[in-house]
Amino acid sequence: MVTINIDGRTVEVPEDTTILKAADQAGVWIPTMCHSEYFEPYGVCRLCSVEVVRGKRSRIVTACNYPIRNGMTIHTNSERVKWLRKVIMEMLISRWPNVKVVKDLAERLGIEKSRFTSLERDESENACILCGMCVNMCNDVVKANVLGFAHTGIERKVVRPFDEKTDQCIVCGSCAHVCPTGHIKMVLEDYRGKKSEFTLGPKTPIYVPTLQAVPRVPVIDAESCIHFQTGGCENCAKVCEPNAINYKMEDEIVEIDVGQVLITTGFDLFDASPMAQYGYGRLDNVYSSLEFESILNSTGPTGGNIVMKNGKEPRAVGIIHCIGSRDTNHHAYCSRVCCMYALKFAHLVRDRTDAAIYQFYIDMRAFGKGYEEFYNRLLDEGVTMIRGKAAEIVEGAWNENGDPSLKIRCEDTLIGKFREIPVDMVVLCNAMEPRKDSDAIRRLFSISKSPDGFFLERHPKLDPTSTATEGVFIAGCSQGPKDIPDTVAQASSAAARILSLISKGEVEIEPVRAMVQDEYCSGCKICNNMCPYGAIEFIEEKKISHVNEALCKGCGTCVAACPSGAMTGNGFTDEQILAELEGLML
Amino acid sequence: MAKPKLALYWAASCGGCEIAVLDIHEKILDVAAAFDIVFWPCAMDFKYQDVRAMEDKSIDLCLFNGSIRNSEAAEIAHMLRAKSKVVVAFGSCALEGGIPGLANLTTKEDILRVVYKDTPSTVTQNGGVYPQTHSKMKEGSIEIPELWETVKSLDQVIDVEYYVPGCPPQPEQIWAVIEHVISGRPLPPKGSILGATDKTCCDECPRDRKEKKIKQFYRPFEIQTDPNECLLDQGMVCMGPATRSGCGALCTKANMPCRGCYGPPPHIVDQGAKMVSALASVIDSTEPEEIERILDQIADPMGTFYRFSLAHSILRRVEKV
Amino acid sequence: MAFEPRIIGFLCNWCSYTGADLAGVSRIKSAPNVRILRTMCSGRVDPAFILKAFQLGADGVIVMGCHLGDCHYQEGNYKTIRRLPFLKRLVKDFGIDPRRLRLEWVSASEGDKFAKIVNEMTEEIRQLGPLKLTVHREIERAIAQP
C-alpha cells in the first residue's frame, strides 16, 4: 500500500493502481471520455489530465493510465488542469455541439461556449466523437478485431476492414453497448442466440435456464457467447468472485447401471402457428398458454405484470380453449388441464388488471376435486363465458375510431349468434402433445404408444404406470395429458412399484425362454446371430449352441429359425402351437 | 429252427436302394446265410402268387424301397404288409416320396402328355395314345397298373414299423440294421428311424462354420468354394442343417451342398418350410426390395427344398392352378 | 350355407395382439373369421405353421407384427419380413393363391387398423372362395375309410 495526496486528501491505495482509480477511492471526480472498465486505459481524450507534483517539479499526466507512486501529490483541479480541460472541451464542443455526453461534460465543467470554430462541425446528436471505445472493445475485449481507425487528423474515423460489411463481425453488440453517443446501433436482423423455451424475448448468452431451477446455476449458450466465437471477452469470469465460470466444461455422457427406469419425459406444447386463423406468431399479443404463464410469473420478463407488447395494460383478454385438442384435424383427445388453467388465467387477470375477460370454450370440464367450485367462483368474479370455439382472430379497431386491437370472431352457441369481440390480448390454450422424440424413447425401451401417441401403459385401469417392458415405468404427461395432482399420484405409484422391487431385491421374469436340446443340435450356427440380446452362445468344445437363459427374452425368433428342431421355446413349442392350430381349426 | 424270412421289394424308385443292399459286399453272404429270402424280384425269380399264398405275418422282415405311385406298388405294399411282421420303409422314396415324389409338382395328365405326346422322339398316331389300364384284344384282355395322380410315401399307404432313410441308405447303415435283426437284440420302438442319428448333417460335416449372414446365393456352377468353409456360409443352398445325419456328409465332403436325402431331423414336420425359415433368417438385409433380389437368386425353390420330401411334406403336392 | 372363410391370424403379443384387444375393448366391429393364435413375436412364426394351417383347412393366413423398428424384441419382425416373402413364393409354387397369405403391421394402438385389415382379408378370401387342397381330400378319404 502506498500513501498519496489528492487535492489535499490523503488516501492509502494499492501500489499498482492508477491515479483515476485512486481518485475514485478518494471521492474525487476526474472527467473521462474514452475510459471504460472493460479494457486497458487508452489515454486518448486527455480529459483526465491531472497535475502531479513531486518535490518542486510538477507535470501534467493522464490519470487513467498513470501509475501511483508513494508520496505523490495530485491536483485534479489546479488552474493548469482547468485550463487544459477547457481547451479540450472547447475543441470538442466546436466540432460536436449537440452530442449529449460532450454537452453534459461541458456543462459540468462550466464551459458554455467554444472559442474555436471547427470546419468539421457536426450538428448531429449521435455523431462519432472518435473516443475509440468501440475499437478497444472490439479488439481488446471481444478480440474480433473488426473495428479500427482509418486516416489521420480531421479525416480520422472508425471503420470495419475496407469499410465494408464483414463476416468477421460476430454481431455481439459490444461496440454499440460501449458507444457513449449512440453512434453505433444494432439492427436486429436475425437474433442468433437461444430463445428460451418459456420466456419472451432474447436472453443474454449466460443465463439461468429457469428461475425455479435447483441448483439455480447459470449456463452459457455457446452459440451466442462471445468467448466461444473469438476466445475473447471472459467478462463474466472476471466479475465472478467465486471463480465458478469454466469455459472448458463440456457435455459428458455418463453411463449408469440401473435395474429399473421411470420415464417421465412430459409433453410438448402444440404449436398453434399452423392454425393461421388464430394468428399465433403473426399477430402481436397472441400468446400460447406457457408464454402467458411466463408473463404471469413474477420473475418473468414483465415481472408478473400483464402488459401488452407496447407496455400498456390490456383492456380485454380473450382466452381460447382447445387449440389443437378436441380437434380431428390435430389431436382428437382432450388435453384435460386447459379448462382449469384457463380459469386460473382468468382469475389472475381479474386480480391484476381491470381487463374484461372472455373465455371461449367448447365444454367446461371442471372434473377434479374443488374444480367445479373454482369454476363457480370465476363466474361470480365476472368472467364472460362464451360457449363456442373462436373461429378467427383478426386485427381491428377497438371501436369506431379507437386504438388498434384484436377481434375474436366466434359463434356464441348459447345465444345462437355470431359475435365479434374486441380484445387487446389473446391467450391460446394449446393442446399437450407427445414429445417430438418420444418414438426414439419408445424404441429404446421397447414400449408401445397409444393411438394419441403417448406411451402405452400395461393396462389402462389396473396397471397404469408399468409398461410392456419389465422394469420400465411411466408417469405424468408422457403417458397422457394430466394435471399436477394426477401426475403426482401416478408418479408416487410408480415410485412405490419401483421401491417394492428394490426392497425385494429380485425380479420375477416371464418363464418364456428358448433352450437348446443338446442331443439334437449339430452346431450349424444359424441361430447364433438371430438373438438381439446375444443370449445364444456357441460352445466350441461341444460344437453346439447354448442359450443363456438370463439374457433370453423369449421372443422365439431363434426357435423358428432352428432348422434341426433343437431350439425350443418354453410355452410356445412347435408341438404346442401346432396343437393350438388344430384346436383353432376344429 | 427255421431261418427268419426276408423280403425285399422295389416300388417307384431308381433301384439304387437294391444296389445299396449289394454294396455291403461279401456280407451279403451273411444275409443269405442268416435269412431265408422269400421275395426279391430284382435279384431272384419269385412270383406274386407265391407270396400271396404265404401265411399272414410269416415274413419276418420286409425291406420296402420306392414310393407308391401306381396301383401295382400299392397292391404289393398291402400284400407285404399282411404277410410281414416288420415292414421297413427303406430309402428316401419309401420314407418320404423321394425323387419320384417330385411328380407331385405336376399332374398325371401332364406327365402322360409329355411322355406320350410332346416328347420330340415320340411318334404319335391318331393324336397320341395313352397307356390304358384295361385293353381288350382278340387274345383276351390285358390289365396294366394305373398311374396315380399323387405319389405317396409308403407310410401314407400302409402301416410301417421302421424307417431307413437315404438315397440310397449307406451300406454300413444297412448292415447295421440287418445285423441288429440277425443278432436277435430287442427291436427299437415302432416308428423309429434306423441307420441314422438324431442330429443333422452338419454334425458329420467337417467344414468350418461361422455365424451366418448371406447376401448372395450361388448355384454350384457359379462359385469356386473354399473346401474348408461351410458351403452355406459361402452362399450355396445346402440342406444340411435341416437334414438328418447318417450319411457321413458325403456330398459336402465332395464339395457339393447337401440335397436333403436323409429327410428332416426329429421334431421337424416339414423339411422345406424349415429350411425356408432358416435361410430367410440368415439373409443379411432388412430392405424388402433387396430381400426380394436375394430370394431371386435361389433357383427352383420347390425342387431345392422339397427335393426328397415333397410327397411327405405338410401339403404333399402342388395344386393344379 | 354361404361360405364363411376360416382365417388363422398369427399375432405378436406386444403390438398386434394388444391392437386386436384394443379393437375389442373399443367395440370396433370386425369380421369374426380370423382365429387368433398369439405368439410372443412375429419372428416366432415358423413357415411350417402357416403350411399346417392351410393343411388343416384354413382359407387364409395372416401374420401380424409390430411396425418395423418398433419390435418389442428389437428386430424380430425383420426376420419375418424375410421369411414371409420367401414363404409366399413357396405358397404360390404350391398352387395356393398368394393373396391367402398376408403380412401386416399392427401396433398396439391400431385397433381400427386391425379391424380394417381383418374385414378386408375376410372379404378378399370370400371372393377367392374356399381353399381346396388334395391333402384335404386325402385326409377326408382317410377319415371316411379307416
CA distance B185 to B197: 19
Which pLDDT does position C146 carry in this prediction? 55
Mean pLDDT of chain C: 92
Reported confidence tier of residue A164, pLDDT bands at 50, 70, 90? confident
Q: Do C95 and B318 touch (CB under 8 A)?
A: yes
Q: Coil, strand or helix: which one is B163?
A: strand
For B180-220, the pLDDT digits (tens) are: 888 888 999 999 999 899 999 999 999 999 999 999 999 99
Domain limits, chain B? 5-99+151-183, 106-148, 201-312
Cα separations (Å) of A18 from A12, A80, A526, C123?
12, 21, 83, 95
Q: Do A564 and B277 lie within an 8 Å CB cutoff?
A: no
Phi-psi bin for B220: left (phi > 0), alpha (psi -120 to 50), beta? alpha
Residue A565: list chain B partners with CB under 8 A.
Answer: 264-268, 274
Q: Domain A514-585, CATH 3.30.70.20 — does that match?
A: yes
B149: closest CA of chain C, how far (Å):
10
Find, in chain A, the residue whose alpha carbon is nearest to that of C113.
Answer: A451
By C-alpha distance, the chain C residue nearest A452 is: C109
Domain with CATH 3.10.20.740 in chain A: 2-77
CB contact under 8 A, C82 and B283: yes
Write down which chains contact chain A via at least 3 CB pairs under 8 A.
Answer: B, C
Residue A538: count of CB within 10 angstroms of its CB: 16
Pick among A517, A526, A543 to test the B interface (most B CBs inside 10 A)? A526
pLDDT-derived band at A26, boundaries 50, 70, 90? confident
DSSP 8-state assignment for residue A13: E
Q: How far B31 CA sits from the closest chain C CA (Å)?
A: 37
pLDDT band of residue A448 (cuts 50, 70, 90) is confident
pLDDT-based confidence at residue A43 (cuts at 50, 70, 90): confident
B273 shares contact with chain A (CB less than 8 Å): no
**pLDDT above 60 (res A201):** no
pLDDT for residue B236 is more than 80? yes
Do A295 and A302 meet the contact criterion of CB atoms below 8 Å apart? Answer: yes
Closest CB to A577 among C49, C76, C111: C49
Give chain A positions within 8 Å (CB) of B265. Answer: 520, 564-565
Task: Give every CB contact of residue A545 below 8 A, 6+ residues apart in sequence.
Answer: A516, A521, A523, A525, A527, A528, A536, A537, A538, A539, A566, A567
DSSP state letter for B156 = G
| Partner residues linked to A459 by β-bridges | A463
C94 and B314 within 8 Å at the Cβ level: the answer is no
State the smallest CA–CA distance between residue B211 and chain A in angstroms. 5
Fold of C7-144: Rossmann fold (3.40.50)
Mean pLDDT (chain A) is 89
State mean pLDDT over A21-47.
89
pLDDT score of A203: 62
Residue A167 DSSP symbol: T
- In the block, which residue shows the cell 474525487? A28
Pairwise CB contact (< 8 Å): B203 & A522: yes
Please name the CATH architecture into which domain A258-508 falls: 3-Layer(bba) Sandwich (3.50)
Asked if C108 and A448 come within 8 Å (Cβ–Cβ), the reply is: yes
Q: Map residue C105 onto helix, strand or coil.
A: strand
Q: What pTM did the predictor assign? A: 0.73
Is residue A219 within 8 Å of residue A238, measured between CB atoms?
no
Interface test with A, best of C105, C109, C133 (most A CBs within 10 A): C109
Please give the residue of chain C at the shortest CA–CA distance from B107.
Answer: C134
Instruction: Inform me whether the C-beta atom of residue B199 falls under 8 Å from chain A C-beta atoms.
Output: yes
Q: How many CA atoms lie within 13 A of A81 on its CB side?
A: 22
Interface of A with C in 481-540 (CB under 8 A): 512, 530, 532
Q: Which residues, numbered 298 to 317 in chain B, qualify as contacts with chain A under a Cβ-Cβ cut-off of 8 Å?
A: none
- What are the φ and ψ backbone dihedral angles of A400, each rounded to 5 degrees? -45, -50
Structure confidence at residue A510 (pLDDT): 79
Please state the domain extents for chain C. Answer: 7-144
Give every CB contact of residue B68 below 8 A, 6+ residues apart in sequence. Answer: B11, B12, B74, B77, B148, B151, B152, B153, B154, B156, B157
- Convert the pLDDT of each residue in B282-307 to its tens digit: 999 989 999 999 999 998 999 999 99
Residue C81 near chain B (CB below 8 Å): yes
On chain B, the residues whose CB falls within 8 A of the CB of A540 are none
Residue from the list C35, C57, C79 with its beta carbon closest to the beta carbon of A530: C79
CA–CA gap between residue B89 and residue B313 (Å, rounded): 16
Q: Could you tell me which CATH class the domain B5-99+151-183 is placed in?
A: alpha beta
* pLDDT tens-place string over residues B146-170: 999 999 999 999 999 999 999 999 9
For A:312-351, CB contacts with C below 8 A are: none
- Nearest Cα of chain A lies from the Cα of B276 at a distance, in angstroms, of 9
Q: What is the percent of chain A with per-residue pLDDT over 90, rounded to a whole number?
A: 56
Q: Where in chain A is the domain with CATH 3.30.70.20?
A: 514-585
- What whole-number distance in Å separates Cα of residue A366 and Cα of residue A267? 21
Which residues in chain A are classed under CATH 3.50.50.60?
Answer: 258-508
User: Closest approach of chain A CAs to the CA of C56, in angstroms?
Assistant: 6
pLDDT computed for residue A58 by the predictor: 87
Task: Residue B266: list chain A partners with CB under 8 A.
Answer: 520, 565
- Domain A2-77, CATH: 3.10.20.740
Q: Is B153 left (phi over 0), alpha (psi -120 to 50) or beta?
A: beta
What's the complex ipTM?
Answer: 0.95
